[in-house]
Amino acid sequence: MKLWLDTANIEEIREIDRWGVLAGVTTNPSLAAKEGVEFEALIKEIAAEVDGPVSAEVVSGRRESMVEEGLKLSQIAPNVVVKVPVVPEGFAAVRDLAGRGVNTNMTLCFSPAQAILAAQAGATYVSPFLGRVDDISNDGIGLLSEIVEIYRVQGYRTLVLAASLRHPQHVVDSAKAGADVATMPCAVFRALVKHPLTDNGLRRFMEDWESYQASLGHPAARGGDRA
C-alpha cells in the first residue's frame, strides 16, 4: 500500500517528502481554496515537488466540460491524475479521459455500487471516503473491504485509494483490507510515526551513550545531531 498526502500545502508536502516514504498527493477544491493561490500554478508546483501521482479535481458538471477541464489539468505535468466525482456525467467523462490516456481518480465514493461503476468506466483509482462514512455512524473500513473484495473477484484493474483517513488506525486497517493507496492529512502522517516507547528508548540510548563516552573521557562523537 502506497502512502500519499491529502493536502495542497507545499510546506507539508516538503516536510513529509523528506521522510523518503511519500508516493503521491491528493488535493480537492476545499484543500486548494485554503492555499489562496491560482489553482493551476498550485498544481504545477506540487507536481514538480512530488515523485508520484498528484490528483487535481475538476469542478465542471457536464461530461464535455469535465473532459475539457481534465485534459487541461493533465497537461500541467505528466504525473497529474484527474479527479472526477462518481456521478453519471463523471463516469462518462472518465471513459473519455481514459480513452485519451489520461489517468483518473473517481472521488466521493460512498458505496460499493459506485465503485463498480468507477471500475467499469475505466478509472485508474477509486476513492472511498472512510472517515466521512464513519462520521455518519457507518463502517468506513467495511466499505473499503467490500470494494477490495469486489475488485479482486471481478479482476478489475482500478486501484483502491482509501481516502478521508482520520487517524493511524484507519491507515493500518486500510493496509489489512488490501487498499492499494492510503491518502491522509499531514497530521495523520505525523501521527503514524509516534510511539512513546520509541521516544523513551531513544532518550535512554542517548543518555547511556553519553555516560559511556564521558567515562572514557571522550566528547560525544556520535548522535549529537539527534533531536
Catalytically active residues, by annotation? 83
Q: Does 129 bind ligand G3P (CB under 6 A)?
A: yes
Q: Tell me how far CA of residue 156 lies from CA of 2, 45, 117, in angstroms.
A: 19, 33, 11
2 binds ligand G3P (CB under 6 A): no
- Say whether residue 132 binds ligand G3P (CB under 6 A): yes
**If you ran DSSP here, which 8-state letter would residue 83 be given?**
E
Going through 42-124 in order, the beta strands assigned E by DSSP cover 54-57, 80-85, 104-109
For 129-160, give the DSSP string: BHHHHHHTTS-HHHHHHHHHHHHHHHT--PEE
**Taking CB under 6 A as the rule, does residue 163 contact ligand G3P?**
yes
26 vs 79, beta carbon nearer ligand G3P: 26
Nearest residue to 4 via CA among 185, 155, 146, 210: 185
Give the binding range for ligand G3P (CB under 6 A) out of 123-131, 136-144, 194-202, 218-226.
123-131
- Residue 9 contacts ligand G3P per CB under 6 A: no
- The letter for the amino acid at 155 is G
Q: How far is the CB of 8 from ligand G3P (least distance, A)?
A: 10
Q: Does residue 115 bind ligand G3P (CB under 6 A)?
A: no
Residue among 6 and 12 whose Cβ is closer to ligand G3P: 6
